[in-house]
Amino acid sequence: MGSLDGSPYVVAPKRKRHLFGRNPLGLLFSAPYLVFVLAVFAYPLGFAIYIAFHDYFFTAPGAVVSRPFVGLQNFIDAFTDPDVIRSFGNVGIFLIINVPLTVVFSLVLASGLNRAVHLKAFYRVAYYIPYLTASVAIVAVWLFLFNGSGLVNQILGPLAPNPSWLVNSSLAMPSIALFVTWKQMGFYILLYLAALQNVPNELYEAAATDGAGAIRKFFSVTVPGVRPATVLVLLVSTVTGANLFTEPYLLTNGGGPNGSSTSPVLLMYQKGIEQGHPDEASAIGVVLVILVLIIAWLQNRFAGGRD
């Protein structure tokens, strides 16, 4: 490298061993992002755990108060509340309905779309639009469709549930699960569509030579071929379900009827911000995240295969 000395074409940083690497400018370019990640993710993450283990309450800015360490007391307070237990059960119901429907329908639609000849672009747009639209906007039309005298019940006629969907304590949570399945489906269809491009065509040809029909091909070639995408779909839909807030807040008017559609995040808002117990709310958040991590690990273990 030293032989280049004196020529006008020197790339200066290349020879010196800098403390920050060859292009310390990289660190400068990344500094705003690193500060952002520290301030908005890393620090609050630690702070959330701190709040969960201390007697934390809101004070005026600058006020000095003691916030003693209380061990697991916040967790005990939160999880002896039947509403909290119920909200976790509700997410369970949500996931049992949402996750299988999501995987099945998005894979079927994606593989149909993958082989479609006509209107491919149109279908892609059609499927993706609900995912792009704000929940708040779509909630407005679902309230119209699913209220007591709404179009859905008009079509069902005598089969319409009574009380209607969103005010029926055994149907409120399933209705929310269906809403979210419908809304998020486009995203998963696109994920599967991308994954299907990586399934080699020869496998389909080989299966056809072996006399496999369309259904056999789907289960023996397509399903194993998109397995990494399925793991991702499982993970993302579980995380989305755990994050549920807007739908129970608006669609069922704050988790109604009688708490049958509350979600943990909705309770975190009610307890933490409305009722001023951020410590209990944080404890709920910590437990929720741990549960999601466990579910994600299990999914990866059992659906992920060896790769």
Partner 1 sequence: MSRFQTGLRSAVLALGAIAFLFPFYYMIIGSLQTKQDPSLGGAFPNPSNLTGANYAAINDRINLFSGLLNSGIFTAGVLICTLVFGVLVGYALAVLQWRGRGVTFALALLVQVVPFQLLIIPLYVLITRNYGLSDNYLGMILPFAINSTAVIVFRQYFLQLPKELFEAARIDGASEFKLLWRIALPLVRPALVTAALLTFIGPWNEFLWPFLITKDASMQPLAVSLASYISNVAASTANPFGASLAGAVVLAAPVVILFLVFQRYFISTDLGSSVKG
Give the CA angle between residues 5, 8, 11 to the nearest 5°.
Answer: 70
Alpha-carbon gap, residue 204 to 137, rounded angstroms: 42
295 in Cβ contact with 277 (< 8 Å):
no
The least distance separating partner 1 from the CB of residue 204, rounded to whole angstroms, comes to: 13
Cβ closer to partner 1: 168 or 246?
Answer: 246
The least distance separating partner 1 from the CB of residue 169, rounded to whole angstroms, comes to: 19
Cβ closer to partner 1: 7 or 80?
Answer: 7
What residues contact residue 240 under an 8 Å CB cut-off, 6+ apart? 180, 184
Does residue 257 have a cis bond before it (omega within 30 degrees)?
A: yes
Cβ closer to partner 1: 259 or 272?
Answer: 272
The least distance separating partner 1 from the CB of residue 9, rounded to whole angstroms, comes to: 5
The least distance separating partner 1 from the CB of residue 197, rounded to whole angstroms, comes to: 7
> Tokens 């995380």 identify what position?
239
Cβ closer to partner 1: 115 or 306?
Answer: 115
Give the long-range contacts of residues 227-230, CB within 8 A, separation 24 or more. Answer: 227/303, 227/304, 227/305, 228/195, 228/304, 228/307, 229/191, 229/192, 229/194, 229/195, 230/103, 230/107, 230/303
* Count of other CB atoms within 10 angstroms of residue 260: 20
The least distance separating partner 1 from the CB of residue 16, rounded to whole angstroms, comes to: 13
Cβ closer to partner 1: 93 or 281?
Answer: 281
Cβ closer to partner 1: 127 or 204?
Answer: 127
* Count of other CB atoms within 10 angstroms of residue 30: 11
The least distance separating partner 1 from the CB of residue 28, rounded to whole angstroms, comes to: 8
The least distance separating partner 1 from the CB of residue 288, rounded to whole angstroms, comes to: 6
Alpha-carbon gap, residue 141 to 127, rounded angstroms: 17
Q: What is the DSSP string of 48-117?
A: HHHHHTB------TT------B-TTHHHHHHHTSHHHHHHHHHHHHHHHHHHHHHHHHHHHHHHHHHH--
Cβ closer to partner 1: 151 or 298?
Answer: 151
